[in-house]
Amino acid sequence: MSFEILDTLFFSTVIAAAFRIATPILFAALGEAVAERAGMLNIGIEGMMALGALGGFLGAYWSGQLWIGFAAAVVVGILAGLAFGYITIERGADHVVTGIVANIFCFGVANVTYRFLFAGTKDIPQIPTMRPFRMPWLSDLDFFGRAFFSHLPIVWVAIALIPIFWFLLARTKWGLNVRAVGENPAAAETAGVDVWHVRFSAIAVGGGMAALGGATLSIAQLGAYLDNMTAGRGFIALAVVVFGGWRPARIAGACLLFGGAEALQLRLQAIGVPIPNALLTAVPYLLTIVVITAFAGTAAYPAAMNQVYRRNRPTRRLRPHNTAVTEDSSRPTMSVDSPPVPCTSSLPPQ
Amino acid sequence: MKRGIQFLSIIAAVGIVTTAQAKEVKVAYLPCGQINDHSWSETGYEGMKLAKEALAADGIQMTLDYTESLQAAQVEPAARDYASRGYAAVVLHCATFSGGALNAAKAFPNTKFLVSTSPDTKDLPKNFWFYDASQQEASFLAGYLGGLMSKSGRVGAIGGFDFPALVRQVEGFRLGARFANPKMKSFATYINSWEDAGKAKEAAQAQIDSGADVIFAATDQAARGAFTAAENSNAFAIASYTDQANLAPKNILTSVLYDYPRLVKMMVVMAVEDKLEVGKAYAMGVTDGVGDLAFNPAIDSTIGPTVKAKVASLAADIKAGKIKVPMLSKPNEAEGVNLDSLAAK
């Protein structure tokens, strides 16, 4: 073991790798943050990433254009998000259960589709991976060139989306609506916000971004589609959203922290520092949790997360047609027309 | 019509002759998973079929039965069931099956039990053997090739998980690289996944950033990431388990192959023909044809005849017993091995 490797070259490659590792997670996390802000808990993003990885790969493989691949992935992701929205918003299903089903379903669809298309082909389909975007002068700098200015174009897209998402959520009417709908849909509706549309648009953004993250893996980084290639990155994104307090900048920081820790541990392991490999492997996860919980403060969940909202719609569709159902039944629904029943004491009188 | 009768009588005669000579034997196969899993359980089943063919050539009619996807707790009853029905041998092709196999072996001394992993005991019954591929030998050869091909004097190895059966491949590679060049610096990274190609790519990139120009991948589909990293950085890569040269034809030097079907076949044939030595651990490597390099023909000229001849001569030395490759099952053990100790006295 030797530490002469710990020079500027070493740290510049760690920073560059941190951005590469963070990018797919950052895409998924930014989208998920928007969805959750609107009260949509989509734990199906792991599967949607896989779907995006396949959709993006197919688009790029058949067209020969990487950017068409990314566009295809976003379309697939939006469709997956809208399907999730249909089941949860329109049909009123539980978000967690739907998310679990979405994961299983998306993985199944992606893997089976890939097999169906390419089973028996002699040559495994591959595409050339994305090349780094070189900037004049900046990319030739010794430390900063390697660390910050040799990224893939898709990394720059991810970086650009951080302020865009902040702006969308914090400074636009749509963002305000999203946040209102996620906190109190009934009040938002009273104020004239179309909860149904806002939630559908938020979940579409979430699905599209998750798929973009998956496509980053398949198109930009590997040039191939592999079963389960997302390998838990969607779940990491879910955690990052919470630890980042649903704020784009903090989420980006958390992703970079995770990526940096992962890049560092891979390098420390390689040069043989006398720390057990199992512990080093866990470092990115532990560090992200510790640092973010220490600095993020007390961020609260959007109040209406995973709550079904019905805009004066009959709920019969989930029940047998001939059953008479009133609006506020056992299911935790909120409605403008039926405010919560005042809590009356069920205790017997003294 | 006359010709037809002649033909039938020949068939009848052949039939009578073969049934008169054929010795019948029943062998059971219990893998971890399913016999068509394109992976571990299928390689063992291939070996069983090869054994059946080999025994047929020796005039022994082997009946092959199998039970798939057992849980560890179901293994002992299944093995006992086969043994009680007069099976000559039961092959347990799964790392977690050794405990159940051991108990069944003690109860049925007339059935031979062949297990792919040794149980944690020295007190083995006489009808119990375990077989293993000495993977360190072929990965040592791969490391030697990598060491000869490295211009930077640095090579890297990526393993799926940090456990002895994998560490011995990674450390075998590193030792082989040192054997080619005693000043060789080698890196090892375990990515804790068989599938995460993205992580394998970053692990390979980390090694390449540290100067490595040959990357050895001992993991499953995740290895694809290591190949991509090698392609992007014009480094060499070495694949494991199957010939994967077509995935990166300009960068994959060779694929390290471990012939598990051959290993299982040899064990079953020896068991049926009563040639297994009591108490011997059967670890087969390059010498027995269970471990070889499949060179990538697409970059034959890059490797060059001199390097190939050197690798072939080292393989011959291992086969002749002149070089003994130790099995190193702890991470970073290869760094401390005295290279002179490899030459057998």
What average pLDDT does the structure give for chain B? 90
pLDDT digits (tens, 9 = 90+) for B113-151: 999 987 777 788 999 999 999 999 999 999 999 999 999
Whether B216 and B250 map to the same domain: the answer is yes
Q: How confident is the model at residue B228 (pLDDT cuts 50, 70, 90)?
A: very high
Q: Does residue B264 lie within any of the structural domains?
A: no
Task: Tell me what the mean pLDDT of segment B158-181 comes to.
Answer: 94
Q: Does residue B262 lie within any of the structural domains?
A: no
Burial category of A70 from C-beta neighbours within 10 Å (exposed 0-12, middle 13-18, buried 19 and up): buried
For chain A positions 181-240, those within 8 Å of chain B (CB to CB) are 217, 221-224, 226-229, 231-233
Q: Looking at per-residue confidence, does B34 or B206 come out higher?
A: B206
pLDDT digits (tens, 9 = 90+) for A330-341: 445 454 444 444
User: DSSP code of B287?
Assistant: G
pLDDT digits (tens, 9 = 90+) for B193-204: 888 999 999 999
Q: Does residue B105 lie within any of the structural domains?
A: yes
CA distance B38 to B42: 6
The percent of residues above 90 in pLDDT, for chain A, comes to 61
Under DSSP, is residue B92 helix (H, G, I), strand (E, B) or coil?
strand
What is the pLDDT, as a whole number, of residue A296?
Answer: 62
Q: Does residue B282 lie within any of the structural domains?
A: no
Residue A301 confidence (pLDDT) above 90: no
Under DSSP, is residue B101 helix (H, G, I), strand (E, B) or coil?
helix
User: DSSP code of B124?
Assistant: -
pLDDT digits (tens, 9 = 90+) for A129-161: 888 888 888 888 888 888 899 899 999 999 999
Q: How confident is the model at residue A119 (pLDDT cuts 50, 70, 90)?
A: confident
What is the pLDDT, as a whole number, of residue B124?
Answer: 86
Among candidates A217, A226, A269 on the partner chain, residue whose Cβ is nearest the Cβ of B189: A269
> Is B189's Cβ below 8 Å from some Cβ in A?
yes
Among candidates B191, B202, B210 on the partner chain, residue whose Cβ is nearest the Cβ of A21: B202
Please give the residue range of the domain that contains residue B180: 135-257+290-342
What is the pLDDT, as a whole number, of residue A244?
Answer: 87
Best to test chain A binding among B174, B209, B220 (most A CBs inside 10 Å): B209
CA distance A305 to A88: 12
Nearest chain B CA: its distance from A119 CA (Å):
13
> Is A150's Cβ below 8 Å from some Cβ in B?
no
Q: Does residue B263 lie within any of the structural domains?
A: no
Whether B224 and B334 map to the same domain: the answer is yes
Whether B161 and B67 map to the same domain: the answer is no
Q: How many domains does chain B have?
A: 2
Residue A26 confidence (pLDDT) above 60: yes
Last residue of a domain, one of B110, B133, B156: B133
Asked if residues A174 and A164 have their Cβ atoms less than 8 Å apart, the reply is no
Nearest chain A CA: its distance from B248 CA (Å):
10
Q: How confident is the model at residue A121 (pLDDT cuts 50, 70, 90)?
A: confident
pLDDT digits (tens, 9 = 90+) for B51-70: 999 999 989 999 999 998 88
What is the pLDDT, as a whole number, of residue A319?
Answer: 46
Last residue of a domain, one of B133, B159, B187: B133
pLDDT digits (tens, 9 = 90+) for A27-67: 999 999 999 999 999 999 999 999 999 999 999 999 999 99
Under DSSP, is residue A323 helix (H, G, I), strand (E, B) or coil?
coil
Q: How confident is the model at residue A274 (pLDDT cuts 50, 70, 90)?
A: confident
> Is A283's Cβ below 8 Å from some Cβ in B?
no
> Is A249's Cβ below 8 Å from some Cβ in B?
no
What is the pLDDT, as a whole number, of residue A344?
Answer: 44
What are the tokens at B106? 């003690």
Strands B236-240, B252-257: pairing kind? parallel
Q: How confident is the model at residue B34 (pLDDT cuts 50, 70, 90)?
A: confident
Q: Tell me which chain B residue has its CA closest to the CA of residue A275.
A: B331
Reported pTM = 0.84
Among candidates A5, A9, A272 on the partner chain, residue whose Cβ is nearest the Cβ of B332: A272
Whether B35 and B92 map to the same domain: the answer is yes
Whether B142 and B12 map to the same domain: the answer is no
Asked if residues B115 and B92 have their Cβ atoms less than 8 Å apart, the reply is yes
Among candidates B198, B231, B247 on the partner chain, residue whose Cβ is nearest the Cβ of A217: B198
Q: Looking at per-residue confidence, does B14 or B45 come out higher?
A: B45
What is the pLDDT, as a whole number, of residue A87?
Answer: 95
Q: Does residue B59 lie within any of the structural domains?
A: yes
Contact A226 B221 (CB under 8 A): yes
A150-164, A294-308, B24-38: least confidently modelled range: A294-308
Residue A123 confidence (pLDDT) above 80: no
Q: Does residue B275 lie within any of the structural domains?
A: no
Whether B146 and B246 map to the same domain: the answer is yes
A122-126, A155-159, B109-113: least confidently modelled range: A122-126
Under DSSP, is residue A324 helix (H, G, I), strand (E, B) or coil?
coil
Cβ neighbours around B321 below 10 Å, total: 9
Whether B176 and B232 map to the same domain: the answer is yes
What average pLDDT does the structure give for chain A? 86
The domain that holds B34 is classified in CATH as 3.40.50.2300
What is the pLDDT, as a whole number, of residue A95?
Answer: 93
> Is A123's Cβ below 8 Å from some Cβ in B?
yes
Contact A277 B203 (CB under 8 A): no
Q: Does residue B70 lie within any of the structural domains?
A: yes
